[in-house]
Chains A and B, each alone.
Chain A
């Protein structure tokens, strides 16, 4: 890390990534570079491999071939091909923050402790420091007054906002969003998208899988379209949504009510 110029170093760098489940190739030689401060949206129909791609970034799925670097550090495998010991893997993983479709909060901990749990017990932060950080983040996602509530009393949108604060509390190099609004009632989608939009404005690096096209268009710096494990199109959002190069993307956008510019 010391040798590389951090401003030029990619937050996430994916090279020649391939992955199969049994005989089905879900990712085929994927290349993707996410610069620091950039928001990249991955879209595609279900089964296109977009969630798998996201989950490979923090090694929740183990790719068959290829390499992934997070802020210059290889995840999962050492450069010489040795598998990474679990402790080391956990350290690299902690450089990413992940937000799941199903929230996955820890139900036995209240909102504040969900957010302080990993900073204290993974990063070794002091309780006071972790709580200060957590309160600032809960403020950011508008959940301060629920800090003592347990997850079972929260709405889906509130749970997801806590989950976002929980991931941010690790001070990750990159935030990974796996369909963060897909499990929400339609009237709760907006509050979560608003939080993510704020984060993009603050310069957080984010990789997001979403079906919210208008949102993707509004916040992305780069849109990637995945089809059968291949990236068949990548562009800035304006180009992507107004003048797609392939018929496949054109057809996909027609079926998704292409948004007007936000």
Chain B
């Protein structure tokens, strides 16, 4: 039996690892997106005593290796009485870490947002909340689409780190098959194929979304 045939027979393991990776990735990027938007909202027009700690938090996250954060949540939190299982530690770490990146991407774009549009919103009686969600955020998302797409790929790749804190996802499946049958090359090549498949699908979706913003003059797709 060739090494590839062994892997084909064990396809159920890859499949469940793949689904698990998709689930972790999906949940954590939704979480990251919400955190990114939330941070942007809190930064919008707030006082320094709020914005300074938020900026420090964002930068601290961005300057931290992801794995350390995952370790901290999984091994460190129990010492302060919070016990998350490996799966939730992983999802939480991914969401917070990439949420900080999302926030920074949004914030950078917010700095170049035309002030005239904000004035027009105020002149038409908008208050911060409605203005943020109806006028600012949709445009910022459209404008940062390529950067967000890039960040999503980073987030996907970071899910592989979770094998280290014992989450059984795609890389864990490959790891286990490679050590059970001593076929690391084939096992890891298969897993690369899965990561590429997710990334390419995501790229296509994000590119398609670009048509929506191109129609409004936000970019040239």
Contacts and interface: CB of A to CB of B under 8 A. Distances in A.
A234 to B, nearest CB: 25
Given A108-B139, A150-B215, A152-B216, A167 B124 contact: yes
B3 interface: no
B116 A102 contact: yes
A94 interface: yes
Contacts of A97: 123-124
A123 B139 contact: no
A166 interface: yes
A107 B216 contact: yes
For this complex, into which size category does the number of interface residues on chain B fall?
Answer: 20 to 34
Given A91-B125, A150-B217, A152-B217, A98 B120 contact: yes
Contacts of A103: 116
Contacts of B71: none
Contacts of A176: 123
B138 interface: yes
Interface string A90-103: 11011011101011
Given A108-B138, A108-B139, A86 B128 contact: yes
B127 A87 contact: yes
A122 B122 contact: no
Contacts of A108: 135, 138-139, 142, 213, 216, 218
A90 B217 CA distance: 30
Contacts of B120: 98, 100, 104-106, 163
B134 to A, nearest CB: 6
Interface in B176-205: none
A90 B138 CA distance: 22
Nearest to A103: B116
A74 B17 CA distance: 64
Contacts of A93: 122-125
Contacts of A251: none
B150 interface: no
Interface of B: 114, 116-117, 119-128, 130, 134-135, 138-139, 142, 213, 215-218
Given A104-B120, A150-B215, A151-B217, 12 more contacts: A60-B123, A86-B127, A98-B124, A106-B117, A107-B218, A108-B142, A108-B218, A118-B124, A118-B126, A150-B216, A151-B216, A170-B125
Interface of A: 58, 60, 86-87, 90-91, 93-94, 96-98, 100, 102-108, 117-118, 121-123, 150-153, 163, 166-167, 170, 176
30 contacts: A58-B122, A58-B123, A60-B122, A60-B123, A86-B127, A87-B127, A94-B124, A94-B125, A96-B123, A97-B123, A97-B124, A100-B116, A106-B117, A106-B121, A106-B139, A107-B218, A108-B138, A117-B124, A117-B135, A118-B126, A121-B134, A122-B125, A122-B126, A122-B130, A150-B216, A152-B216, A166-B124, A170-B124, A170-B125, A176-B123
